[in-house]
Amino acid sequence: MRPTFAIIFFTVVSGCGFGLLFFVGMFGCIDPVRLPRMVELLGLGIGMALAAAGLLSSLLHLGQPQRAWRALSQWRSSWLSREGVASLSTFVPALALGWLVWRDETGAACRVGSAIVAIMSVVTVLCTARIYSSLKTIRAWHNGWVLPGYLLFGALSGACVLWCIDALFGDAVAALPWLIVVLAIASAAIDLAYWRFVETYVGASTPESATGLGRFGKVRSFEAPHTEANYLTHEMGFVLARKHAARLRVISLFLFAMVPMIATLIGMLFARATPIASAVSSVSVIAGLFVERWLFFAQAKHVVMLFYATTDRA
Amino acid sequence: MTSLPSPSPKKLGLVIDLDTCVGCHACAVACKEWNDGGQFGPLPDERAYEKNPLGVWFNRVHSYEVTPTEHAKPPMMVHFPRSCLHCETPDCVTVCPTGASYKRAEDGIVLVDEDKCIGCQLCAWACAYGAREFSAERGVMQKCTLCVDRIYNESFEEIDRQPACVMACPTRARHFGDLGDENSAVSKLVAERGGYDLMPETGYKPVNKYLPPRPRQDASASAFAATSGKVDFSTASPILKWLDRVLTR
């Protein structure tokens, strides 16, 4: 599948925003005074800004962006529609929570608001992942690794940004670096498992099953229907060299898993370096996730290419 | 609504005969011609007369070389028209976030309401058969309409109320009818010739069926290939013997 910047930006940045909102909500639900007031306010603000930036970026991918409001209507059947509804409705409790925190409230309302923000953030990223993992035509997406991957990558990048905000206000939450270490290890493990799956799965479809001509023998494309590219070959015929994929995979793992782990270690050893270490880890994780998400598209094969017989299986 | 309607008894679709298709692309051209001026708006071509032309077509004709696994048999050429199969349970409809992509309850035709389409292209990703092509120029997804503006068009003679591709086919390799009706001509053809589904593993249950090529005359074809290099004139007529002598001089 052709990697499109607007979609990569949408999934990575909105994932990070909702990851951040999740942790603000989670900490607030456990203990409304756990996060310093400014950290919580900035976390909500930046989380919403990142989520909004991601959603706006997704509009750039549309052929008719002015009609985007229509996408909220088919939540009964469409994960894309559910994603739209869930993401927009997360802003309501997030804004309400921000208002409560602004007024220095610490009561039950804060806990409830925080819990709703946390739950809605998870639901939104879950919907984002399901847009892709529900497509039966793309085996590299239609598998059990995609959903935990999206959730963990969102959580990891959100936790890094929260640590960065927290570091600016005295590094009050000691649990954050540990949380980042755990999430980085889990994300790396999921990514490695996903990578292994993508490299080894055996697709159910072949040019023989696509054309139904397998009973007569081996099917080879003698002549394509068109001499130039068309929408299908342009959108779904993207091919990435294996050796480049392996190198990019290592780069992304280094950026989103290794760098934040080293940064947390530096932060724990040298408290004064925490603001810089947390900022570096935030930028590095997001850069690494951009590479990871680019590969998510570039390595995915679509079954329609079997008709062009450019691949043996998909 | 992009939820699928309950299955209708009427399932309009095409039956494509891979035995008689000669790969002339007349169906593709006729489709382009009719639908470019049809009620669903134009099928734009971008850079039509430049280096990298790109256009929307609802019908694409592939040509495959099928090599038998048994060595003795010669390979077979199969021309293969590919268009929307108007599936019974297609994901291209259910993934649509706006309700633009829908399956008609009354006859099962899958259509795009181009006034509602936001051009997110998710339906094209969900389709296994490459039936949907996005028009960047119009910003909407476009697909085969089964010539819904022909088949119900009362200003046409009854005989002309068929999809343009079916009308154009010079070898009658394309048949249009109700595949939900067991007694229709198309259903009988499918039963008689062993019509099959493309990529049944998707679970989309295509309505359109493909008729397999009939067995080729392998024995005589390979015998011809084996002897065509050297002709035995010892048993030929005297005139041919004389011609052989004159020409080999």
Q: Is the pLDDT of residue B227 over 60?
A: no
The two tokens of residue B54 are 């790109």
A242 closest CA partner among A183, A311, A162, A178: A311
pLDDT, residue A197, reads 96
CA gap B47, A159 in Å, rounded: 48
For the stretch B85-132, pLDDT in tens is: 999 999 999 999 999 999 999 999 999 999 999 999 999 999 999 999
Give the mean model confidence (pLDDT) for residues B73-83: 92
Inter-chain contact A235–B121, Cβ cutoff 8 Å?
A: yes
Query: What mean pLDDT, rounded, does chain B reach?
Result: 91
CA gap B162, B177 in Å, rounded: 9
Selecting from B2, B125, B133 the residue whose C-beta is nearest the C-beta of A137 gives B125
pLDDT, residue B230, reads 67
Q: How many CB pairs (< 8 A) connect A and B?
A: 208
Per-position DSSP letters for chain B, written without gaps between them: --SPPPPPS--EEEEEETTT-----HHHHHHHHHHHTSTT----EESTTSSS-EE--S-EEEEEEEE-SSTTSPPEEEEEEE-----SS-HHHHT-SSS-EEE-TTT--EEE-TTT-----HHHHH-SS---EEETTTTEEE---TTHHHHT-TTS-GGG-S-HHHHH-TT--EEEEETT-TTSHHHHHHHHHT-B-SSGGG----SSEEEPPPPP-HHHHHHHHHHTTS---TTS-HHHHHHHHHHH-
Give the mean model confidence (pLDDT) for residues A214-219: 93
Inter-chain contact B199–A303, Cβ cutoff 8 Å?
A: yes
Q: Is the pLDDT of residue A106 over 90?
A: no
Q: Is the pLDDT of residue A137 over 80?
A: yes
Q: Are strands B209-211 and B12-17 parallel, antiparallel or unpaired?
A: parallel
Q: Angle at the Cα of B179 (from B175 to B183), degrees rounded to 5?
A: 95
Strand partners, B196: B210
Inter-chain contact A74–B98, Cβ cutoff 8 Å?
A: yes
Q: Give A107 or A281, the one with higher predicted confidence.
A: A281
Residues in chain A within 8 Å Cβ distance of B140: 63-64
What is the signed CA dihedral for A168, A172, A176, A178, rounded to 10 degrees?
120
CA gap A294, A1 in Å, rounded: 10
Per-position DSSP letters for A163-185, written without gaps between them: HHHHHHTT---THHHHHHHHHHH
DSSP H or E segment with residue B211: strand B209-211
**Cβ B158 vs Cβ B171: under 8 Å:** no
Query: What mean pLDDT, rounded, does chain A reach?
Result: 94
Percent of the residues in chain A that have a pLDDT greater than 70, as a whole number: 100
**Residue of B15, B45, B66 to mutate, interface with A, max A Cβ within 10 Å:** B66
The two tokens of residue A22 are 């999740």
Give the mean model confidence (pLDDT) for residues A90-119: 95
Inter-chain contact B76–A73, Cβ cutoff 8 Å?
A: no
Instruction: Report the chain B residue with the minimal C-alpha distance to residue A69.
Output: B98
Q: How confident is the model at residue B224 (pLDDT cuts 50, 70, 90)?
A: low
CA gap A178, B70 in Å, rounded: 63
Supply the DSSP symbol for A3: -
Q: Where are the alpha helices (DSSP H) in A105-257?
A: 108-133, 146-168, 175-200, 207-211, 231-236, 242-253
Selecting from A61, A134, A236 the residue whose C-beta is nearest the C-beta of B120 gives A61
Mention every residue, 6+ apart, whose C-beta is less than 8 A from residue B174: B14, B15, B16, B17, B27, B81, B163, B165, B166
Inter-chain contact A210–B78, Cβ cutoff 8 Å?
A: no
Interface predicted TM-score of the whole assembly (ipTM), two decimals: 0.93
Give the mean model confidence (pLDDT) for residues A279-283: 96
A230 closest CA partner among B43, B227, B64, B244: B43
**Residue of A4, A58, A64 to mutate, interface with B, max B Cβ within 10 Å:** A64
**Cβ B203 vs Cβ A136: under 8 Å:** yes
Selecting from A67, A204, A213 the residue whose C-beta is nearest the C-beta of B64 gives A213
Residues in chain A within 8 Å Cβ distance of B53: 228
| pTM of the model as a whole | 0.91
**Cβ B12 vs Cβ B146: under 8 Å:** yes
Q: Is the pLDDT of residue B222 over 70?
A: no
CA distance A227 to chain B (A): 10
The two tokens of residue B135 are 């028009």
For the stretch B155-193, pLDDT in tens is: 999 999 999 999 999 999 999 999 999 999 999 999 999
Q: How confident is the model at residue B226 (pLDDT cuts 50, 70, 90)?
A: low
Inter-chain contact A220–B67, Cβ cutoff 8 Å?
A: yes
Cα distance between the two ends of chain A: 12
pLDDT, residue B223, reads 54
Q: Give B215 or A27, the one with higher predicted confidence.
A: A27
For the stretch A75-103, pLDDT in tens is: 999 999 999 999 999 999 999 999 999 99
CA gap A142, A137 in Å, rounded: 8
Longest C-alpha distance within chain B, in Å?
Answer: 81
pLDDT, residue A239, reads 85
